[in-house]
Structure 1
Amino acid sequence: MTRTLVYSAALVAFIAATALTISSISSPNWISYSVSTGTSIIRDRYGLHLHCTTTTPLTPPTTSDSDGSLRSPYPGMPGCVHFPDENQCKGAEKQFCTKWRTTGFLMSFATVAELVTVVGFLVIMSGGRVKREQGGWRILGGLMGVTAGIQFFALSIVAYVFDHDDLFNVPGFRLDSSWYLCMGSAVIGILCAIGLAISAFVLPPEGGYEFLLDVDREREREALVRREGEGDEIGGQHQGV
């Protein structure tokens, strides 16, 4: 396997990791709670910027309302509001608001860092063998490591809030899909960085064998030139005698 293939595989994997990060931010599924009332299931979903409440009837009604209109037979009436709102950022809830908004900022920053890393991949891969061999893997590995560190920090904040804040102190709350998507993105980034570092030390230089052959040919040419020069010098000495 050449380093070009390693960089290409790492780029594809990291683009997938970036997609996971964007999905985790856009989907309000970091922490969720479901409860059954007997006739319906109410689900609360908390995202970095939205709080959504969904009510799903267990037996969707098809009878008419008192005003004569037909009820929708489709379960679920999702409604989302901005989260956390200003009322949740006052008094005792101010610390929660600060932590949650910090998580949102960190994830946005991580997304920007991932996009910069993707651009770095393209620049280094198009820059030729020298950039890939000399310092490309260090730059990309550093960017991916920093990005993963930011994501792990954001994950730890959400996990801490989930375990300690009164808002989620009711049995039934759980870390949901967005939290795990972010975790997967961070792990993929770390694996890509490790893969590039290993390839830098294990794989031979690109065109390394051809380079050695060129060196041998050059040495043979130099030796031939020296022999010819020595032969001319000896011939000149004989003529002088």
Structure 2
Amino acid sequence: MDFHLVPRGEDRNYTGFLTKTIVYTGSLILFLASFGLTISSIVVPKWVSYDNDKPFFHYSYGLHRRCSSLTGTCESFPQREDCHGEDRYFCSMWRSVGFLMSFAVVLEGMSVVAFLIVLSGGKRLRESGWKILSLFILMSAVVQAGSMGIVAYLYDNEDRFFVGWRLDESWIYCTVSWCVSLVCAAALILAAYTLPSEGGYELIPDHS
């Protein structure tokens, strides 16, 4: 008995192609929002803030700047004088958070490039590209979660953060960002294991 290769049904091919493209496109849009939140958490100097009502006073720490409403300006942080004696540990940890968040941006940038390559590629990329793509996304989420955890630890244990200080919007941006990234990675992994293949060729017997 002879076998011949024939294309699978066109409807199945089209459905698989369309479904995977929708998943990748939707995940990319969601991930770009996450990417924007990551950038905002770095740019906006409000990871930990303090407000006083009478007289009004606002003070905040960002990853690379600290701001005061008394002077109306922001200055580079941490500076050399902030990293001596008992403050050396805090300074080292804070700089580590800045480095980790910058690394997260690099990983997210690589993820965006991977998204574009997969979407512009062929069937083979759409079928297997989720592996490296989800890995990049998960790595960026882990790095951001670590950064968030370090700042939360410092907030709870450093004497400089007394009653009245709070974790502010930049910390929230980071938290939401890595949670959204996890959703994107989960969607890609779930789609890879549950959605039908885009099709290809199958063997059928020749009875002639």
TM over 0.5: yes
Aligned residues: 191
Deviation at 1:33, TM superposition (A): 0.3
State yes or no: 1:131 paired with 2:125. yes
Compute the RMSD of aligned alpha carbons. Answer: 1.5
Aligned match of 1:233? none
- The AA in structure 2 aligned to 1:202 is T
Pick from 24, 37, 46 the counterpart of residue 41 of structure 2. Answer: 24
Equivalent residue in structure 1 for 2:69, among 54, 62, 69: 54
Amino acid paired to 1:33: Y
- The correspondence of residues 177-196 of structure 1 with structure 2, limited to 5 A, is 177-196=169-188
> Deviation of residue 84 (structure 1)?
1.2
1:1-241 paired onto structure 2 within 5 Å: 2-37=19-54, 40-55=55-70, 78-133=72-127, 135-168=128-161, 170-206=162-198, 208=199, 211=200, 215=202, 219=204, 222-223=206-207, 227=208
> What is the CA distance between 1:219 and its match in structure 2?
3.2
The residue type equivalent to 2:192 in the other structure is A
| Mapped partners of 2:163, 2:104: distance in 1 | 31
Aligned counterparts of 1:10 and 1:142: Cα–Cα separation in 2: 14
Distance in 2 between the 1:219 and 1:116 partners?
A: 42
Higher relative contact order at CA 8 Å, sep ≥6: structure 1 or structure 2?
A: 2
Query: For 1:190, what is the secondary structure of its paired residue?
Result: helix
Q: CA offset at residue 189 of structure 1?
A: 0.6
What SS does the aligned partner of 1:44 have? strand
Instruction: Give the match's secondary structure for 1:28.
Output: coil
Task: Find the structure with the greater CA-based Rg.
Answer: 1
Distance of 1:139 and 1:188 partners within structure 2? 18
**Superposed CA offset, 1:49-89 (max 9, x none):** 1110114xxxxxxxxxxxxxxxxxxxxx6211111111110
Q: Give the TM-score taking structure 2 as reference length.
A: 0.88
Structure 2 unmatched runs, 5+: 1-17
- Percentage identity across paired residues of the two chains: 41
Partners of 1:188 and 1:129 in 2: how far apart?
27
> Could you tell me the TM-score, scaled by structure 1's length?
0.76
Shift of 1:107: 0.2
Runs of 4 or more above 2 Å deviation:
none
What secondary structure sits across from 1:32 in the alignment? strand
| Between structures 1 and 2, the one with greater strand share | 2
